[in-house]
Structure 1
Amino acid sequence: MIQAVGLTSNPRKSQAPAVDDVSFEARAGHLTVLLGAAGAGKTTALGLMLELQQGRGVTYFRGRPLHRIAHPSREVGVVLGDVPGHPARTVRGHLRMLCAATGVPARRADEVLEAVGLVSLREERLGTLSRGMDRRLGLACALLPDPHTLVLDEPTADLSPAEARWTHTTLRTYADQGGTVLLTTADPKEAARTADHVVTLDGGRVVADQEGREFARTRLRPRVAVRSPQAARLATLLAKEARVERRSVEVVPEGGNRISVYGSTTADIGEAAYRHGIMVHQLADEIGDMGPGGELADTAGTEGRPGAEIPAVEAPEVESAASGDTSPAAEVALVGSASSPLPPPIAVRSTPSPLRPLRYELRRAAGIRTGFLTSGIALLVSALIAVLLARIGHTPQERLFAAWPREFPLPPVALAAGLLGALSFGDEFRYPALAVDRVTVPRRLGLLAAKLFVSGVTAAILALLTLGCDAEALYLLYGRELTQVPEDWLSLGVSWFALVIGCAWAGVLAAGVFRSTTAGLAAVLAVPVAVVPLVRQVFEGSSVRTAAGITVRMHDVLLLQWPFGGERYVLAVIRIVGQPVGGAMVLSLGALLCAYLFAVPRVRVR
């Protein structure tokens, strides 16, 4: 079940908060509706409940706040608008990717596709889905980890009547199986047809908290609102005349000097009051929950009056704490109820997602064609440039194999590797399917390590294929003369692979820091254009000592022999880093990694 206590959003400047002291309860096995017109505060209330927005209050999901649940997606399934997935990804591929993120088996994707009726569309691209099919996919994403609670923001908005009926039937089935369902809507008729419990919001406050039958009886029928200092006498007279005339008239006392009359007209009520000498202060037709001024009218009982106090919903932990329970949830509740008149603050917290980062990243990278097309174009362009450079002549052998003209800041394959690295994080922020129900893309170290590994392996394969394709093209057109392997092929090969992998990692880190694919690619280009000249100028200065003989000096300091000829490898690494391009790459990667680590959220799920 869901228990929301004192939800209050942070006010902006001099404006009143969008949600002010909202408290309600959604029970398990019931379908609860948050009803209200546009701007009533429904979406803001959901944001506070899910810790997507800062404010005050607390929401318990089966007795625990969301930030105290280790894996929130397994407890609460959320549908907030359209599915934020890459438009080129297939329906099944998107769900399989989310299976890795939530830590459930991949076969679960096919199970939920069958449950929502999308089996025949599993190979369709997300960008081609209709509104109804997109909403079904959103529900499938929410059901993927088999949560106990569903929270949906206007799931039937802009849907056809048939799709709306299917959605209501599915949610009703879910509730009948013991789940908790909370959805928002602006249509009171929809709430009356589907809800077991209706909470009405207006101006950010709860103005009615009713059972579904009571809501349908008192809020949707045409009625006449009457205010009179003799309301009780008038109600008795109207009921007596209706019995005598055998008319179906229902008179409902609203408390104080107000009554609501169903099945009559203002003319009949006014004439009856005039005949019996009863003074009337108000006599107005109302339809359902809308009054003559367009604002929410009062409903039956004191719980329906605007401004009436709604009893705060107390979580079970508060009662148990009073009897000696010192659980974490009880402590949170006591802080909000005892030590301060205001409810506890709500902070936006990150979530440890994905649970299986390497599997998630592999499915993300292989789920769309962009990476394959980019790699294919890079190999083709590289082969053409290599052939053209061989035709022109005067190009060193190592640059010929790499298809790297001196006029280019980077070879085509290095740029392609940087682009693929930038896309790996840029798409996360552009299509945030990874954390649709919580914050933006979680920049966790596990996810970073997975992206660096996958992008590094992809860049290494791309670098190897480039050498092979370029050498094959040169051999086919010019023979063996231009395909001779250089003598220092080992150090050149290491430098080549380090350059391509470094570009890929620079793209990953820059896109993660700046949250943009364009920024990631710009950071890759900035290495040869801006950083290399700076490093070259520093290395040419008189303050830099030569690295020659460093292995001998290290041996003298450590008084140890290098095992297996390790001094050669150390010297090779020093030579690579000592080059302007290598030094610039190491400097850039170090700076980007520090910036990324500084930007990683430090809030832990407790």
Structure 2
Amino acid sequence: MLQAIGLTSAPRRDLPLLVDDLTFEARPGQLTALLGPPGSGRTMALRLMLELEPGRGVTYFRGRPLHELAHPAREVGTLLGDVPGHPARTTRGQLKLMCTVAGVPVSRADEMLEVVGLSGLAEHRLGALSLGMDRRLGLAAALLGDPHTLLLDEPAEGLSPRENAWLYGLLRGHADQGGTVLCTFADPKEAARVADRVVTIDGGRLVADQHAAEFARTRLRPRVAVATPHAARLGDLVSREARAAQRSVEVVAEDGTHLSVYGSSCAEVGETAFRNGVLLHQLADEIGDTGPSVSVPPQERPAAPRSSHPLPIAPRPARAPLRPLRYELRRLLGVRTTFLLAGAVLAVSAALAVLLARGGHEPLPRLLAAWPGLLPLPPAALGAGLFGALAFGDEYRYPALAADRGTVPRRLGLLAAKLVVTAAAALLLATLAVALDHQVLHLVYGGDLAALPPGWPALGASWAGLTVGCAWAGLLAAGIFRATTAGLAAVLAVPVIVVPLLKKALDGPSARSVAGLPDRLRDLAWVRWPHGLDHWLIGVLHLVAEPVGAALALSLSILVCAYLLTGLRARARW
């Protein structure tokens, strides 16, 4: 059972309350309609239930608020608007990505595609789906965790009658199995037709909480819908004949060509039009809405909260994926952008290596890295930085973790997964770039460029550190500023801004030397390491002492501190 108690929105400045002390229930085994005109607070009520907006009140899902549920996706399924996701991702790939978020087996993706009738479109891209297919995919995502409660915001808006019948049939099946279904509606006729219970709100306040049959009896009445180019004349004729026959008939002009006739029938209106030679374009029986004028009986009202001070609702972020490493791998490999970007980086790197070797002045390490002096970074490092920037940038542009939450949760599990995956992608790209450049140089210019450069282990370590550092700089900057361009700008700022500043700061004679630092560190350490590790330590210090290495280490330290600071500030607001 879903129990919403005292839901009240927190408006900004002097704006009116969108939801004002709203209390109602949605019972298991029933489809409950939350009905109201546009601007009545239906969507805001759902967002307050899901703790997406600040306010007051509490919502219990089978006796527990949402933030106390260990696995929310297995208790509550939601569909708010369109399905969020990268438009280049396939429907199957999107559902598999959401499976890693909910912590359910990926086999559920194919099962849900079959349930919602999208098994034949498993390889279609999200950007190519129609509105009806998008709603089907959204419902499949909501059902992934096999939840007990479904919260849907106008799921049938814009759908054809056939798709409507399928959608409400599926929701009815979920309710018949004991689940709780709450949908928002703007059309009273549709709510009365498909729902078991109708909760009517207006201006954010509860107007009525009724069974569907009672709602239809008290809120709806039959009418005759007429379309004719002579609407005013026909309306006058129908009214005069009704008065002559002493019948109670009400004629309402909808616009210049449409009438609504209450208290009559299609036969009577049609006969009047025929006798007077009035042309008709439409004549049909319909159900009309009398407006939100019914007050809720006291015995029908859910129990009000006992406390005079409702609990505050603090917006909480979506929980990080329950399987963050799998999530990150599917996020990276689930779109063509990754492979197109990697191919472009390798092609540019090979072309630059050939052009640099033609002059015969560049050393072999720069040839293998394809790093001309005109570029701030080699193509592989720039590509690694872009991979890192996309890791968080795409989360904000195409949110996949949770609908309508707007931000990526700052949890260490997800951050660690992104750091590991982007580092692995950067190392793989760096290795492939060097290997391809080596082979292309050998193919074009012969064997004199096939030998390994002297000191290749240290060069390889510095190359790996450069690419991984660029990837992490792009990742952290995109996470802080919530944009891919900000991540790439942070990568370019290292050689363009930070390196010259460090060179200027360190320029000049030095009266001190760090010689013997490994021996002094060994004296301070609790555990004595072998003397052979001194060479590795010296190598690491040598790399960090380089201008680019020092600038990259300084930039990463600042970005990590800024990321943690913004994360802690966000948690304090929650």
| TM-score normalised to structure 1 length | 0.81
Question: Is the Cα–Cα contact under 8 Å of residues 210 and 300 in structure 2 kept in the other structure?
Answer: no
Q: Which residue of 2 aligns with 1:298?
A: 293
Of 549, 553, 567, 1:586 maps to 553
Q: Deviations over 1:282-331 (max 9, x none)?
A: xxxx98443xxxxx3423xx517xxx9984535xxxxxxxxxxxxxxxxx
Superposition map of 1:183-582 within 5 A: 183-222=183-222, 288-290=288-290, 296-299=291-294, 302-303=295-296, 311-313=301-303, 337-338=306-307, 341-436=308-403, 438=405, 440-542=407-509, 545-555=512-522, 562-563=529-530, 565-582=532-549
Q: Which residue of 1 aligns with 2:35?
A: 35
| Offset at residue 399 of structure 1 (A) | 0.7
Question: Is the Cα–Cα contact under 8 Å of residues 6 and 343 in structure 1 kept in the other structure?
Answer: yes
- Secondary structure of 1:87's partner? coil
Question: Is the Cα–Cα contact under 8 Å of residues 7 and 58 in structure 1 kept in the other structure?
Answer: yes
More moved, 159-168 vs 550-559: 550-559
Q: Deviations over 1:102-148 (max 9, x none)?
A: 10001111111111010000010000000000000000000001000
Q: Which residue of 1 aligns with 2:5?
A: 5
CA distance in 1, matches of 2:367, 2:515: 29
CA distance in 2, matches of 1:173, 1:559: 66
More moved, 166-175 vs 595-604: 595-604
Q: Which residue of 2 aligns with 1:111?
A: 111
Q: Which amino acid aligns with 2:58?
A: V
CA distance in 1, matches of 2:524, 2:56: 61
| Offset at residue 588 of structure 1 (A) | 0.7
CA distance in 1, matches of 2:528, 2:204: 75
Gaps of 5+ in 2: 224-244, 250-261, 266-285
Superposition map of 1:61-140 within 5 A: 61-140=61-140
Question: Is the Cα–Cα contact under 8 Å of residues 34 and 199 in structure 2 kept in the other structure?
Answer: yes
Q: Deviations over 1:525-567 (max 9, x none)?
A: 1111111111222232446843333224445666986416000
| Offset at residue 165 of structure 1 (A) | 1.1
CA distance in 1, matches of 2:6, 2:510: 65
Q: Which amino acid aligns with 2:65?
A: P
1:16 aligns with 2:16: yes
CA distance in 2, matches of 1:55, 1:569: 56
For these two proteins, the number of residue pairs brought into alignment is 518
| TM-score normalised to structure 2 length | 0.86
Q: Which residue of 2 aligns with 1:326?
A: none
Q: Which amino acid aligns with 1:143?
A: L
CA distance in 2, matches of 1:557, 1:81: 60
CA distance in 1, matches of 2:411, 2:527: 40
Question: Is the Cα–Cα contact under 8 Å of residues 350 and 603 in structure 1 kept in the other structure?
Answer: no
CA distance in 2, matches of 1:439, 1:337: 34
| Offset at residue 12 of structure 1 (A) | 2.6
CA distance in 2, matches of 1:556, 1:38: 73
- Secondary structure of 2:306's partner? helix
CA distance in 2, matches of 1:469, 1:544: 45
- Secondary structure of 1:64's partner? coil
Question: Is the Cα–Cα contact under 8 Å of residues 4 and 313 in structure 1 kept in the other structure?
Answer: no
- Secondary structure of 1:492's partner? helix
Shift of the 459–572 alpha-carbon distance from structure 1 to 2, 3 Å rule, reads same
Question: Is the Cα–Cα contact under 8 Å of residues 189 and 288 in structure 2 kept in the other structure?
Answer: no
CA distance in 1, matches of 2:216, 2:524: 87
Q: Which amino acid aligns with 2:293?
A: D
CA distance in 1, matches of 2:49, 2:82: 20
Q: Which residue of 1 aligns with 2:252?
A: none
Shift of the 46–561 alpha-carbon distance from structure 1 to 2, 3 Å rule, reads closer
- Secondary structure of 2:184's partner? strand
Q: Which amino acid aligns with 1:195?
A: A
Question: Is the Cα–Cα contact under 8 Å of residues 399 and 406 in structure 2 kept in the other structure?
Answer: no
| Offset at residue 406 of structure 1 (A) | 1.2
Q: Deviations over 1:486-520 (max 9, x none)?
A: 22111111001100111111111111111111111
More moved, 379-388 vs 547-556: 547-556
Q: Which amino acid aligns with 1:298?
A: S
Question: Is the Cα–Cα contact under 8 Å of residues 209 and 301 in structure 2 kept in the other structure?
Answer: no
CA distance in 2, matches of 1:63, 1:552: 63
- Secondary structure of 2:446's partner? helix
Q: Deviations over 1:434-488 (max 9, x none)?
A: 1226563212111111111111011101111111111111111111212332221
Question: Is the Cα–Cα contact under 8 Å of residues 356 and 367 in structure 2 kept in the other structure?
Answer: yes
Shift of the 544–136 alpha-carbon distance from structure 1 to 2, 3 Å rule, reads farther
Q: Which residue of 2 aligns with 1:182?
A: 182
| Offset at residue 599 of structure 1 (A) | 2.2
CA distance in 1, matches of 2:35, 2:544: 63
Q: Which amino acid aligns with 1:202?
A: D
Shift of the 556–31 alpha-carbon distance from structure 1 to 2, 3 Å rule, reads closer
CA distance in 2, matches of 1:60, 1:554: 57
Q: Which residue of 1 aligns with 2:238?
A: none
Question: Is the Cα–Cα contact under 8 Å of residues 51 and 315 in structure 2 kept in the other structure?
Answer: yes
CA distance in 2, matches of 1:497, 1:603: 34
CA distance in 1, matches of 2:543, 2:511: 16
CA distance in 2, matches of 1:130, 1:441: 27
| Offset at residue 218 of structure 1 (A) | 1.6
Shift of the 381–6 alpha-carbon distance from structure 1 to 2, 3 Å rule, reads same
CA distance in 1, matches of 2:217, 2:517: 89
| Superposed CA RMSD | 2.5
| Offset at residue 98 of structure 1 (A) | 0.8
Percent of pairs with identical residues? 60
CA distance in 2, matches of 1:561, 1:53: 55
Q: Which amino acid aligns with 2:128?
A: T
Q: Deviations over 1:366-400 (max 9, x none)?
A: 10011111111101100110100011221122111
More moved, 342-351 vs 85-94: 342-351
- Secondary structure of 2:425's partner? helix
Gaps of 5+ in 1: 224-244, 250-261, 266-285, 291-295, 315-335
